[in-house]
């Protein structure tokens, strides 16, 4: 929600109107704050928290407070230092996974990697053997027979998987 500030003109002869305007402005701001708090409560219910509040920039440890001489004099250095301070600030806010979560996810990644490496290796060996047979003299029948077997196996696997998934959905 965007906030728009309006200024009221204060006229020396119109002090009672000014007081009423100030009171009305305070009430309007209080109502906005109450609405924002209600909206925040609804948002808090929708999202999972990480178990601790995110520290504000005031709560984080300041870095390099005393070293402002050279940094403030050279704009490029100032921007680079500001960038790395921002990185350090954000890294302190990161919710890192636990050791068990890291081990579990690493096991999954390594398992999938090994599975695909073995699968691709077997496929490469099979296709290499198959094409060597295909281009060898008098082996046209073997090539067509293997092609037919592969086509039947792949299409049969596809239809079995499709029917299995349909039964699981229904």
| CB 64 within 8 Å of CB 81 | yes
The residue whose two tokens read 């007081």 is 19
pTM of the model: 0.39
- Tell which phi-psi region holds residue 51, choosing left (phi > 0), alpha (psi between -120 and 50) or beta: left
Q: What is the dihedral of CA 95, 96, 101, 103, to 10 degrees?
A: 170
CA distance 169 to 157: 18
Instruction: Output the tens digit of pLDDT for each of the chain's 170 residues.
Output: 455 655 555 455 555 677 777 778 888 887 776 776 566 555 555 556 666 777 666 655 555 555 567 677 788 888 898 999 999 999 999 998 999 999 999 999 999 999 999 999 999 998 888 788 777 767 777 777 878 888 999 899 898 888 888 887 66
| CB 87 within 8 Å of CB 93 | no
Residue 162 is predicted with a pLDDT of: 87
Q: How many residues does the chain have?
A: 170
Residue 145 is predicted with a pLDDT of: 81
Could you count the other beta carbons within 10 Å of the beta carbon of residue 158?
A: 10
């Amino acid at each position: 929600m965007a906030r728009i500030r309006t200024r009221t003109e204060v006229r020396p002869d119109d002090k009672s109107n000014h007081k009423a305007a100030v009171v009305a402005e305070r009430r309007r701001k209080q109502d906005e704050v109450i609405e924002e708090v209600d909206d925040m409560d609804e948002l808090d219910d929708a999202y999972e928290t990480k178990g601790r509040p995110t520290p504000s920039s005031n709560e984080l440890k300041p870095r390099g407070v005393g070293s402002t001489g050279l940094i403030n004099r050279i704009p490029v250095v100032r921007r680079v230092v500001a960038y790395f301070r921002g990185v350090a600030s954000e890294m302190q806010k990161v919710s890192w996974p636990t050791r068990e979560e890291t081990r579990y996810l690493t096991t999954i990644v390594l398992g999938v990697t090994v599975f695909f490496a073995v699968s691709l290796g077997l496929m490469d060996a099979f296709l290499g053997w198959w094409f060597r047979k295909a281009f060898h003299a008098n082996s046209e029948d073997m090539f067509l027979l293997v092609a037919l077997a592969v086509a039947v196996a792949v299409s049969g696997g596809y239809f079995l998987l499709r029917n299995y998934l349909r039964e699981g959905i229904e």
